Amino acid sequence: MRRSMYKREFDRLKSTFDAYLFWGEEPYYIRRYAQKVANSLAPKEERLLLYYDEYDFERAKEYLGQNSLFGNRNLLYIKHDKALPKKELQTLIDLCRKNENSYLIYELVGQDGKKIAPLFAADHGAINVRFFKPSLHEAKEELAQRASDLGLQIDPFALQHLLILLDLNLDLAANELEKLSLLDQKIQSKDIDRLVYALTPLNLEKLYEAIILKEPLADLLQKLSQEEQNEMKILLGFESYMRQLFLFYTHMRLHANANSKEILGYKLPRQIEERRIRLAMRIKNYPEIFLTLQECEYQLKTQSNIDKASLLFSYLIKIQALI
């Protein structure tokens, strides 16, 4: 099986292809890149959009096979949550290769992309690009660019705070940026606290504290699974939580005090601030913990035939041993 291309590789690519498959776990990236390519290929009046149940193979085939007397392009834009039949896709890709004015973009959220990714290969005049959930750093870069595009001034700490509140959900965060841009002012963390509703459940915070305090984790993880909190969300949330504690730890080491306003850009309630300081100072092996978190994230993203809940639990136990 040919390997999918990833985001950074595609960012460096200058070539144009006959057919594109954008797929994976991050809907925001999939939609943004698909729309970016569509805008570069054809204006909206030269596109046929077939979303979900609107897809009809005969209609799609007829559209891609037609020739234009005026040199217009035929861009077929499919958006679906399931992999379409391979034979149908192969026919559509072949039509794009034969007709120099025809192009295909297929937007597919989820793991079904694995089934059809090999069809979208360079030797077929096509490409498939897989998108994973972003790290906190990647998400901040993405939203900083989005804020710039909107002409929105936002403090970097406020941007990070927004992402943490929304569990690194880029779609939700981007929507909030659009709303905040209407205020016509520089956005601070206090504005995020006032205007944005947090998504992180209380049980996640309890789990993160239990890890650091070396308390039993099984029951808390069971509760979170009942709330449909997936393993990647739990892991990324804990990584963000640990980075915040590391900021408290380094500030205490350098200045012998820890003021959340100076560290985070916004003031935490006193009780929460004091608890964060206590937790931060319990931890001595931050570098090893961050490496372990990265290893766990890599395993969750790349290993498909595993029990992800058990894998996450084993890594959290490893982290407890490092604290």
Q: What digits encode the pLDDT tens for the residues 181-228?
A: 999 899 998 888 888 865 555 578 889 999 999 999 998 888 887 766
Structure token digits, residue 161: 């705070």
Least confident of 111-120, 240-249, 254-263: 254-263
Question: pLDDT value at position 224?
Answer: 80
Give pairs for 35-42: CB < 8 Å, separation 24+.
37/105, 38/75, 38/77, 38/105, 40/16, 41/16, 41/73, 41/75, 41/103, 41/105, 42/72, 42/73, 42/74, 42/75, 42/103
| Model pTM score | 0.62
Residue intervals of the chain classified under CATH 1.20.272.10 are 202-322
More confident residue, 179 or 75: 75
Domain 136-195 has CATH 1.10.8: yes
Question: pLDDT value at position 198?
Answer: 59
Amino acid present at 250: T
Residue intervals of the chain classified under CATH 1.10.8 are 136-195
The answer, yes or no, to whether residue 176 has pLDDT greater than 80, is: yes
Instruction: Average the pLDDT over 67-91 and give the result.
Output: 90
The answer, yes or no, to whether residue 267 has pLDDT greater than 90, is: no
Question: pLDDT value at position 269?
Answer: 64
Residue 31 CB contacts under 8 Å (≥ 6 apart), including other chains: 107
> Could you give the CA distance from residue 294 to residue 10 in angstroms, rounded to a whole number?
23
Residue intervals of the chain classified under CATH 3.40.50.300 are 5-131
Confirm if 201 and 229 have CB atoms less than 8 A apart.
yes
Assign 67 a pLDDT band (cuts: 50, 70, 90): confident
**Topology adopted by domain 202-322:** Zinc Finger, Delta Prime; domain 3 (1.20.272)
Question: pLDDT value at position 1?
Answer: 47
Q: What digits encode the pLDDT tens for the residues 127-167?
A: 999 999 888 889 999 999 999 999 999 999 999 989 988 87
Tell the CATH superfamily of the 5-131 domain: P-loop containing nucleotide triphosphate hydrolases (3.40.50.300)
Residue 260's φ and ψ, nearest 5 degrees, are -60, -30
Residue % of the chain over a pLDDT of 70: 95
The answer, yes or no, to whether residue 72 has pLDDT greater than 50, is: yes
Q: What digits encode the pLDDT tens for the residues 268-299?
A: 767 778 889 989 999 989 999 999 999 999 99
